[in-house]
Amino acid sequence: MESVIVAIDGPSGTGKSSTSKAVAAKLGLSYLDTGAQYRAITWWMITNGIDVTDPAAVADAAGKPAIVSGTDPAGPTITVDGVDASGPIRTQEVTSKVSAVSAVPEIRTRITELQRSIAAAAPYGIVVEGRDIGTTVLPDADLKIFLTASPEARAARRAGELKGADVSATREALIKRDAADSTRKTSPLAKADDAVEVDTTDLTLQQVIECVVTLVEEKRAAAK
């Protein structure tokens, strides 16, 4: 089996995580949720009393936490200093502060190095999902995919995940997050020039998964 590195980028609520995990599982690849790593370092900052609105303080602490990502798509894990962080990193507090922390260049450098080392060590290849994978982290990825969807569709999905969250408030939060991620100086959210764009607005999750699996299989066949 040809080893293959797949980069899947896009904003929140486009189905990145669900798609990436399912594609990796189906094709026997490793899986990495890079957003979880930025959430993990944000959670560590909050827990350790670092002022996340102070870029200098965040930069000074960037190298301190030990972040370990498990890459099994059936059960991805993330620990910080040996502590399971998979639950705590999904809190609203972390969600509201992760953009500020992840905009700090020293944080991006640290996490990008971590992501590259994980991708390089994947035995059969890996699906890596995030916001700057195809542009910055893995610019030589075999296949780059950029998932999009309308703000309304994304808000409805995210509100559904959050069980009863207000859809209009969720939509506003997503648009605000998009703006923060797209305009930051270091590694902004952007579609790579050679990425395949997939609009998931009117597609079921299963259709998106099938579309991406087909793209990966085509890429593998072309490489033989």
* 3-state per-residue secondary structure call for 132-163: CHHHHHCCCCCEEEEEECCHHHHHHHHHHHCC
pLDDT value at position 223?
78
Reported as a single tens digit per residue, the pLDDT across 134-167 is 999 999 999 999 999 998 898 888 777 777 778 8
Show the tokens assigned to 8: 């899947």
Reported as a single tens digit per residue, the pLDDT across 68-88 is 999 999 999 999 999 999 999
Reported as a single tens digit per residue, the pLDDT across 110-127 is 999 999 999 999 999 999
23 with 209: CB under 8 angstroms?
Answer: yes
Average pLDDT over residues 90-118: 95
CA atoms of 147 and 12, how far apart (whole Å): 10
Mean pLDDT of the chain: 93
pLDDT value at position 174?
86
pLDDT value at position 65?
98
Q: What percent of the chain clears pLDDT 70, i.e. is strictly above it?
A: 99
Phi-psi region of 187 (alpha: psi -120 to 50; beta: other; left: phi over 0): left
110 with 67: CB under 8 angstroms?
Answer: no
Beta strands 4-9 and 143-148, pairing class: parallel
Residue listed under structure tokens 């590694």: 187
pLDDT value at position 146?
97
In a 13 Å sphere around the CA of 190, the CA atoms on its Cβ side amount to: 13
pTM over 0.85? The answer is: yes
pLDDT value at position 29?
97
Report whether pLDDT(133) > 80.
Answer: yes
In a 13 Å sphere around the CA of 210, the CA atoms on its Cβ side amount to: 5
CA atoms of 14 and 19, how far apart (whole Å): 9
Please, which pLDDT band fits residue 108 given cuts at 50, 70 and 90? Answer: very high
CA atoms of 221 and 208, how far apart (whole Å): 20
